[in-house]
Structure 1
Amino acid sequence: MKELPCDLPEVAALPRRRRLRRTVFILPSLFTVGNIFCGYFAIVSTMRGNYDDAAQAIGIAIFLDMLDGRIARLTNSATDFGLQLDSLADVISFGIAPSLLAFVWGLSTLNHGLGWTAAFTFTICGAMRLARFNIGARDLKHFVGLPIPAGGGMIVAIVHFFVQPVATQIGATFLVIAVFLLAFLMVSTIRYPSLKSLTLGRKSHIAILFIALLVALIYNYSRWTLL
């Protein structure tokens, strides 16, 4: 009986390749899940009065949000599922969590429901910004409207710098103006530069060094750097 040719090492390697491919596709979503966890942790911390913990958790979520998309592009593992999960994560971590933090930390002292109106406006404008991004044409060089992580990051930078809750009407007034302004910028058509097109080319080395320096400054002197 004639034996069929068979490359046993190659056949044995097939399951490992499939597992590796599945891991590559799951990896970006794991960072997104970490993003959601940070947003949830920030909400719980805000309700418990741990405002700086909440601000730092949202800061970590911003870092994870930067990683998941870049990893998906580098590994060619971007999917519609990952895109939708990332959008939901952004609404939680950069929409709901920062707006709740802003309200409890400094807007709740305002009269006539102005504080919660500002907080809700920020959340809904962030959600609209994400919806517009999902259905719009992809532009690697620019964002249209302030990205929601940047908007949420502005709020948590203020909270992280001052730490102590706002105790005066003047402080609350400045905060509510800032929240409304950030909400407007997210749904505006102002174009902002994007880092998605950043490659390892000649001109990008300066940008990469700048980002590395910024990360180091945030790690060691976070309050003054973020301000």
Structure 2
Amino acid sequence: MFILNPPSSIFQYAKKLFLSEQAGRVQFQEFARKNAANALSLTNLVMGLSSILCSLNGHHYYACWFLLFGFLLDLADGAVARQLNACSALGAKLDDFADFTTFGIATSLLLQAQGILDSVFVICFVMAVFVRLCFFSSGIPFVYRGLPCPYASAILASTSLLTGGNRFLLYIVAVVMILFMTDQGNYPHDKVLESQLWKKVVFIGGLMVLFCCPLRLACTYYLIWCFSYTFFPSSLWGYEC
């Protein structure tokens, strides 16, 4: 003999099931909102680790590509965190760790150290990035102290590709980047994805040339972009410009 549930019981069960699924979707959306920027930082970290592996195996061409993509990810993660109101202490630490790995350790391997003096210089570059990140953590609001290390990394990676890995030129560029990162000069938060339309176009253009154009052309694009920020930070890239 079968006992049928009354319609009211079935309706209540369906309602509970619907509310449960709705609550699950809300929780998932909240989780995605809070961790979208962290996912970009983790991807940046993966780009850095991939670049390290490529450099250790002599594939400097691909190592530079990973660094340039990491540069774009670093510009995007902060914008995403602010737009989604998902800034957190964990996210800041994760971003710093990813930056140190990608723009410090991975970038320094492009110098291809072949002796003790070269190795000491590589350590100096990594320490300059470390000092730069420490200054940023305690810097002035809306202002970077010293050239942001992603720009120094993009310049070094682009130079490596355009010169075929010429070590002499790479070391000269690295010295200049160390000086810019540690001089404590003020650089504005460029906020490429949160500012004027032309800055967003520059970012989208960087993404397109990296995936759709020969890498040498992409490197020229990134050099112009990064040098313009390095030498004309306030007049050209200031947030209120």
Q: Give the % identical residues.
A: 21
Q: Structure 2 residue aligned with 1:207, among 193, 199, 202? A: 199
Deviation at 1:226, TM superposition (A): 3.4
CA RMSD, aligned part only?
2.4
User: Residue 82 of structure 2 corresponds to which residue in structure 1?
Assistant: 73
Cα displacement string for residues 204-225 of structure 1 (whole angstroms, at most 9, x for unaligned residues): 1233334434544454221432
- Residue 198 to residue 62, structure 1, CA distance change in 2 (3 Å): closer
User: Residue 117 of structure 1 corresponds to which residue in structure 2?
Assistant: 120
Structure 1 stretch displaced more, 80-89 or 56-65:
56-65
Q: How many residues align?
A: 205
Give me the whole-angstrom Cα distance separating, in 2, the residues matched to 1:30 and 1:79. Answer: 13
Cα displacement string for residues 68-91 of structure 1 (whole angstroms, at most 9, x for unaligned residues): 111111000111001001101100
Give me the whole-angstrom Cα distance separating, in 2, the residues matched to 1:11 and 1:46. Answer: 50
Stretches of structure 1 lacking an aligned partner (at least 5 in a row): 1-5
Give me the whole-angstrom Cα distance separating, in 1, the residues matched to 2:20 and 2:54. Answer: 51
| Contact 2:206/2:218 (<8 A) preserved | no
Stretches of structure 2 lacking an aligned partner (at least 5 in a row): 1-11, 224-241
Greater Rg by CA: 2
TM-score w.r.t. length of structure 1: 0.80
Give me the whole-angstrom Cα distance separating, in 1, the residues matched to 2:136 and 2:152. Answer: 15
User: Residue 21 of structure 1 corresponds to which residue in structure 2?
Assistant: 30
Residue 184 in structure 1 maps to residue 182 in structure 2? no
| Contact 1:28/1:72 (<8 A) preserved | yes
User: Residue 51 of structure 2 corresponds to which residue in structure 1?
Assistant: 42
Cα displacement string for residues 35-66 of structure 1 (whole angstroms, at most 9, x for unaligned residues): 11111111110011100000001111111111
TM-score w.r.t. length of structure 2: 0.76
| Contact 1:43/1:101 (<8 A) preserved | no
- Residue 89 to residue 214, structure 1, CA distance change in 2 (3 Å): closer
| Contact 1:161/1:226 (<8 A) preserved | no
Give me the whole-angstrom Cα distance separating, in 2, the residues matched to 1:100 and 1:135. Answer: 28
